[in-house]
Amino acid sequence: MTKERDPKPAKAPLTAREIYGNLLFTGQYVQTWYQVAGVQWPFRPHNERIDWTMGAAAQYAQLTGHRIIERTTTRPYPVRDWAEAFNARTPQPLPLPDGHDWASYLISQQNAMFDVSLAEKEVYLGVRFANRTGAAKLFDTVVKRTTSRERDRVQEGADRITQIISGGSLAARPLTGTHMQWLMHRSIGLGLPGPAGLVDGVTHWLDDDLNTFTDGVWYEDTKLGQTVKVIARRAGQEIVRHVAVLTLGKIGDALLPENGRHEWLRTLDLLPFPVERVSIMDVEPVAQTKKKYGKVLLAIRDQQRHHHVDHGLDVPDDLARKAAHARAIDAELTDGLDAERVRLVGWHRLAVSGATAEECLARVRAVRDLYQNRITVEHPKGQLALLREFIPGEPLALNAYTRRMPVMFYTAGAGCAVAQLGDQVGDRIATTCGTTTRPVMFDPWLNPERHDASGMYPVIGVQGSGKSTLLAKLALQAVRRNIRTVLLDPSVTFAGLARLPWLAPYLRVIDVRRSPAGTLNPYAVVRNPDPGQYDVEQEWRDDWKVAQAERWQLVQDIVGMLIPPEEKNRPETRRAVSLAMRAVPNSPESTLGLLVKALTELPDPQAQIIADVLRDVEDMTTEGPLFFGEPQPTDSLTNSLITVFTLAGLNLPQPGTPRENWTAAQVVAIPVVHLASYLASQTIYGGARNARKLLVLDEMHFLAQWASGKAFFARLARDTRKWNAVVLAAGQNPADALSLAVENLIGGAFIGLIDDEDTAVEALKLLQLPGGMGYEKVLTRLSPVGHRDDYREFLMLDAEKRVEKIRVTFDGDDAELLAAVNTRATGVLR
Amino acid sequence: MEQRRLSTDDDLRRISRVWLGPPGKTLPFAARYQAYGVFGVCLLLELMFRVSVLGQPFAISNLIKDGVPAWVITLVVMHFVDHERPIGSIPQMVLNTARAGRTRNPATRTKAVTGTLRIRHNPWRDTR
């Protein structure tokens, strides 16, 4: 087919002649190439963004006299690598029936990842730093290669460049052979799928070797055409992409830091398709800039005089304005910092591609729309020549559309910004939706297993923000991996999992309120640590003491919850309860009945009042016997793979309602949630210490108001490391988890919709973000009202303290899950 | 947090340098200095062609005759010249466009190759 069209295709040799390490030799000059470290940008404090911008500007400013080429490309997300890594971390997946089995699940996850743009941005930096000598050029012409002497000579210059840009904001690394291959392939085959089978260990490409990059790639253009066809033959198949090269025209003012809009280069990340960029820029020495603008000022003066004096005409208004601008620049060039003084004279090209010319041109329109009212985007003729500018080593093809800017203006564009989140080995839980659309992988057990960090993850949001659906999704992902999971379900959400027939054999739902008396005995729910599970006796002794203190505090709080607040706050009550507690052994075998008995034996009349109130609770409430009965064996409670402790019928008060207004049923509901949480938490301490476990706790805000609740979470958070457990604790108030965050006891966090800005400030503290930067509004606009019901939005803090907005979607089996647990959709629960 | 406004220097390159005529004698049109330059070069080339190729002697009448096409060419060229596309970039634009696929055969393919054809005039010469 190719031969029919053109039997003798024209040839356009590359300007590059040889690549040695990260050095690229052309016939005239030498470039050195680096990869710039992506800088995490979303939800970053402004002062850190400013520091990065100034730092990068100062580094570029040191490259005066050189031509720099910043080349941004994308690397498709390594879906297959992820699947292999994830599979390796799941040695024994749950044998679910066909269609829901592990293999099907892995395939569906990978397909879902292919469906969205998952390209990861990479920024490469080339510096043209040396010209080749006459002798070197002559030798090259004859022998077709560089000499070691020449390479040694230029290496010194390259080392100087490396020294400037290898640290600080840019943190650039010299390109390895593999990266150089990737860059060459991506640049020559612009818009084509990423090359497969890069060769490791190759660092030297001579003239003929460069054919490796060009073989099988063809360009096809038409006169005055708007796009270039880039064609590749791979595995006998012809792949065609239509590529359009755009160039940036007039650029509007920028702000440092930007607030409310994206930086001018980072804006490109908003596009749902990858955009390639090359910025070819000369770093101009200050003296040269000064001289140039001096001439401009003279030209302005000359025009003013020509109009006014020579011809008696009105001077055009813009001349006076431009003269003032020129004087301001002149002052800046004299007094400013290098980051402000040094100018970049450059050309900024963007390349978009599509499978058809129509798709490509639609993307061109999308780029123009994106930059509307901000930057003029031109689509010049001579597309093939412009397309070649993207190839390392190629010279500038068109010196029109030159942009002149302070180096700080360029770095304020945040072209190196990335939005990374999560790990690369966990399950796919969401996609980022702040700027880019990338999958978020999250394996909560990485923290306790690899980083010796906490496995506690608070999930905060108002009712209806999607906390429960997120928890259910994460729980189901754990179950698929055969991880023992226990869920505490006060709002009767997770009990809906029983509606999934393929999960039912592994699921046990325990209705706590209908369990035998004594199930929620406050003495028994805090178990003493088993010495058999400790290698070091001292460690066991320490934990035993912690358990004693925790039990004491819990019993004290439970009594406080059951008696009226006016009685609880009296000093006599505290003294009586304290004395009675000392009369009862602090052990899992004790009961509240013994405590009541001890109270009645005290001579204090206040003790009698408390004893009477407690007896009333035992006799007159449905839940009473649960607290007062003899301890029940709990080992068998959590022997299913997934256990749901449901609290069906529990009447929890609305958060914020004064306690005086609570009904009797609401008063006992609080200790039920407390004690059921303790009961559920016992799962962590059962089984092998290294086996992964998941504990999901909902309605955390009811616990966090009590000292015992705070101690409970602190203990859980600490124990996640020792017991390889993950705790997902959901609540409505971010302040509840703040003390844990301060003590570095959380491994990450998920914040959903918050309905008022004061609470949002607390939530930002939990995410370790400063307030007053406009992020509060982001939290109050998550999962906006009226959004489709099949996704929920959160801000996620990951183990590396990165924050980004994520969208949790429910596809495949998750759609069934959503239908099973979605309280909003069904409207029957709670 | 105080925000700092940053701007490019492009504004300073957007100065229309026009010549309105000799002092005190304002012409009825305002043309850029560059237009006079282009006109002059065109006129010179035409005269050189007339004298050296056609062998005609230099005469004022020829100068007037050649002025008209030179003026037209200048109008065409200056139509493409603005602050974004300075006059120096026009030859490159023309060359880039001219080197694109031939209209007779719009399917012309250009393969990026190296190897034996390594010494070759390079139309993508750097402008520095």
pLDDT tens digits, one per residue of A58-97:
999 999 999 999 999 988 888 888 899 899 989 999 999 8
Q: Which residues of A241-270 are buried (b: 16+ CB within 10 A; e: fewer)?
A: bbbbbbbbbbbeebebbbeeebbbbbbbbe
Contact A396, A67 (CB under 8 A): no
N residues, chain B: 128
**How near does any CA of chain B get to the CA of A191, in Å?**
15
Whole-angstrom Cα distance, residue A476 to residue A470?
Answer: 10
**Mean pLDDT, residues A757-781 taken together:** 87
Weakest-pLDDT range from A75-84, A648-657, B105-114 = B105-114
Residue in chain B closest to A141 (alpha carbons) equals: B119
Which pLDDT band, with edges at 50, 70 and 90, does A708 fall under?
Answer: confident
Is A303 close to B18, i.e. CB distance below 8 A? yes
Is A397 close to B124, i.e. CB distance below 8 A? yes
Smallest Cβ distance to A255: which of B3, B24, B125?
B3
Is A403 close to B8, i.e. CB distance below 8 A? yes
**How near does any CA of chain B get to the CA of A252, in Å?**
7
pLDDT tens digits, one per residue of A103-151:
999 999 888 887 665 678 999 999 999 999 999 999 988 888 899 999 9
- Name residues 102-121 of chain B within 8 A of A (Cβ): 102-103, 105-115, 117-120
**How near does any CA of chain A get to the CA of B64, in Å?**
28
Smallest Cβ distance to A208: which of B88, B109, B115?
B115
Smallest Cβ distance to B20: which of A249, A306, A773?
A306
- Per-residue pLDDT at B119: 26
Whole-angstrom Cα distance, residue B83 to residue B80?
Answer: 10
- Per-residue pLDDT at A528: 87
Contact A590, A598 (CB under 8 A): no
Residue in chain A closest to B91 (alpha carbons) equals: A398
Whole-angstrom Cα distance, residue A409 to residue B7?
Answer: 7
Whole-angstrom Cα distance, residue A24 to residue A111?
Answer: 39
- Name residues 64-93 of chain B within 8 A of A (Cβ): 84-86, 88-89, 92-93
* Residues in CB range of A298: below 8 A, 6 or more apart: none
Residue B106 has pLDDT above 60, yes or no: no
Is A303 close to B17, i.e. CB distance below 8 A? yes
Weakest-pLDDT range from A100-104, A454-458, A538-542, B108-112 = B108-112
Residue in chain B closest to A305 (alpha carbons) equals: B23
Tell me, what's the ipTM?
Answer: 0.79
pLDDT tens digits, one per residue of A397-427:
999 999 999 999 999 999 999 988 888 889 9
Weakest-pLDDT range from A342-346, A642-646, A787-791 = A787-791
Smallest Cβ distance to B15: which of A231, A322, A412?
A322
pLDDT tens digits, one per residue of A272-281:
888 999 999 9
Burial of A312 (0-12, 13-18, 19+ CB in 10 A): exposed
Smallest Cβ distance to B92: which of A307, A343, A398?
A398
Residue in chain B closest to A67 (alpha carbons) equals: B128
**How near does any CA of chain B get to the CA of A257, in Å?**
6
- Per-residue pLDDT at A635: 66
pLDDT tens digits, one per residue of A552-567:
999 999 999 999 888 8
pLDDT tens digits, one per residue of A426-448:
999 998 888 888 889 999 999 99
Q: Does B122 touch chain A (CB under 8 A)?
A: yes
Is B1 close to A773, i.e. CB distance below 8 A? yes
Residue of A812, A813, A810, A820 lying closest to A499 (CA atoms): A820
Smallest Cβ distance to A14: which of B8, B106, B114?
B114
Give A401-445 as a DSSP string. S-EEEEHHHHHTT-TTEE---SBSSSEEEEEE-SSS--EEEE-TT
The CA distances from residue B58 to A60, A274, A688, B47, B49, in Å, are 56, 61, 106, 8, 11
Which pLDDT band, with edges at 50, 70 and 90, does A707 fall under?
Answer: confident
Contact A645, A489 (CB under 8 A): yes
Which pLDDT band, with edges at 50, 70 and 90, does A585 fall under?
Answer: very high
Is B24 close to A398, i.e. CB distance below 8 A? no
Whole-angstrom Cα distance, residue A140 to residue A17?
Answer: 9
